[in-house]
Structure 1
Amino acid sequence: MSFQTDTIHAGVAPDKAYGAIMTPIYQSSTFVFEDIGKHRGFDYTRSGNPTRKALEDSLAALEGCSGAVAVTTGMAAIATVMHLFAAGDEIICTDDCYGGTARLLSTFAEHFNVCVHFINLRNIEDIGGYVNEKTRAIWIETPSNPLLNLVDIAAVTAFAKERGLLSIVDNTFLSPYLQQPFKLGADVVVHSTTKYLNGHSDVVGGAILSNDPDLDQKLKFLVNALGTCAQPFDCWLVLRGIKTLVPRMKEHERNARIIAEFLDSHPKVKRVFYPGLESHPQHDLAKRQQRGFGGMVSFELEGGQAEVEQVLRGTRIFALAESLGGVESLIEHPATMSHASMGSEHRLVAGITDSVIRLSVGIEDPEDLVADLRQALA
């Protein structure tokens, strides 16, 4: 079936008990055994739950892979994947990644002796200098948060496979509708389902997907052992959101393109970060590996702190808040919000200046959104 049809039906079916068309919320911690050593597929919700399984089956179908595990948050997804590695292992990671990712990977480096190299993965020829006998994986975030730089997934995953390394892709910014990393060679994909998959700013969740039966089992074991599993009601909310993923993403992208073009022509804007603009240095790569350009737009102001604060305080529709991917538009300042934990030196090397502002473009009327930004910039 088509992707849009799969968002409605994949992994879910009318409830066998009463025919409910929506997946029931199995809000139960435990399940009764039919006999000693015999149950109906579920025994304890940390190990498995019917509502969570429906979400996992849906996500696996949408990403086109063999297995999925739903977890409590996007950070829980990253933390769980990191338990695939042992002390002494080394990981190569996108340098301009989400601040929480940088913080967690740095914590693993500090406390568990897992060395992390944050490098510019856009220059594939530079990656080889960081690979040695201890290297285990390459962590790819594309588009990156907040600068929307792209990594050539097919090229980097091919590089990884030649050297026996895992390739892990954070696909949160685009969702499986606009980008499918497994088709480009990825081994593991992570999501913050809080964002576009849910799309309504009313739940936090995460997911880990894999395309190898052995890896599937390892990840399911880790989620059960660590207790990072998603709860039934949260899974139900994400399932509900997925049903409107395609029409929402189309509106997000339409609005983002309009706003990016407006900002690109504004005299107070130094530069705009949006792969949908032909001026973006990786516009052709975006067209090649993505179905669309997404709903995230970042821009750098010509002025300093006062001008940045004026814009952040001046919007009326764009709410000053972290997170992204909801139907409502948000504005945030990476240096003091989403990437504050990254540290100023890391941000400077990655190119995340104090003048960068990030927008999560919602699905409001684009004329209203442009007018809101225009008056805030005035």
Structure 2
Amino acid sequence: MKDTEKITGTQLGLILYIYVLSTLILSVPGVMVKLAKQDAWLSVFPSALTALLTIWVMITLANRYPGLTIIQYSSKIIGKWPGKCLGVYFSYYWFSFIGVLLYGHAGYVNTFLLPKTPIWVGTLAILILSALAVFAGIEVIGRCNEFLTPLIIAILIPLLILAIGDSDPGQLKPVLAEGIVPVLKGAFVPSGFMSQFFLLGWLLPFLNQPKKALKISLISLLGIVLFLFVIDLLTIMVLGPITGKLNYAFSGVIQYIGIQGSFERLEAIPVTIWVMGLFVKLSVTLFMLCYSLSQLFGIRSYRNIIAPVTLLSMVVSVWIFKNSAEYQSYINIYSFNAFFTQNLLPLALLLIDTLKRGVNKSLL
């Protein structure tokens, strides 16, 4: 990393926003409705609790070890070799996550836009673009996202306005007919995506104004919650009970608008949004993976390993799932893995560090 490579608070906030929201709005609303039925829109709010926990833990650790990534301060907290092992696990986590993203990308694009195109074409194209962005650095990724995020929002807002005309508020009734338990069940899956604020453990050392990290993260979280709330609400009001049967429920809303309204063939729009959001998410994830490996193995520059890591990522995207059913099953249980990796492990590091500091003070 160059010493001058920094991102602004706005760039960090937009990266957090699009990183979480880009994949969340397409695949998760259907799962939420499957679990919470017409009350799925209420599940958005309890799902944000895991994000609040993640933000607090990651920023607290960053303040205690300024300028260091979670890979570096893990060794300071739990020792050199246990810290290295934890760093290897985090690297594996991001490596497998890249495979999941690429497989989901291929399946989504083939389903809605290019059914006859070989899967590897779209996967390889976006992976190469992401690798080039990683080679340019996190600062360039942040600048690209400053352009892409407002563009994505500008495309989404007219679609949401069009969906209002086909919505039926009666689909939301009865509210809390089965109590609060289904709402909490519906919050489980999005909570795993919300805890992706875990990437603060890698990005905070690049922030040019570290004192603004908490404010920036909370604003991003608020934006994510509000946007997901609106999307869930409209999806249920437009599609009703069939929402829970769709893997890409929000795309179904856009297709419905195209059929009922004056516009046709609108399925290209959610694909465009997906590709732009995934480009940012994939670039940031690939950057974190390469940066982690460079710190673990003492490589002078993370740029030296971008090419082999990109090639291996392409390979893992091919064999990670046998079919789309396995992929959907993974989405349904993703929150278990996310809670362990993105919430429990950082929290354990914070608790151990707090205990060590308490013991050291008592010995003085």
The answer to whether TM tops 0.5 is no
In the superposition, the TM-score normalised over structure 2's length comes to: 0.27
Which structure has the highest strand share of the two? 1
Q: Which has the higher contact order (CA 8 A, sep 6+)?
A: 2
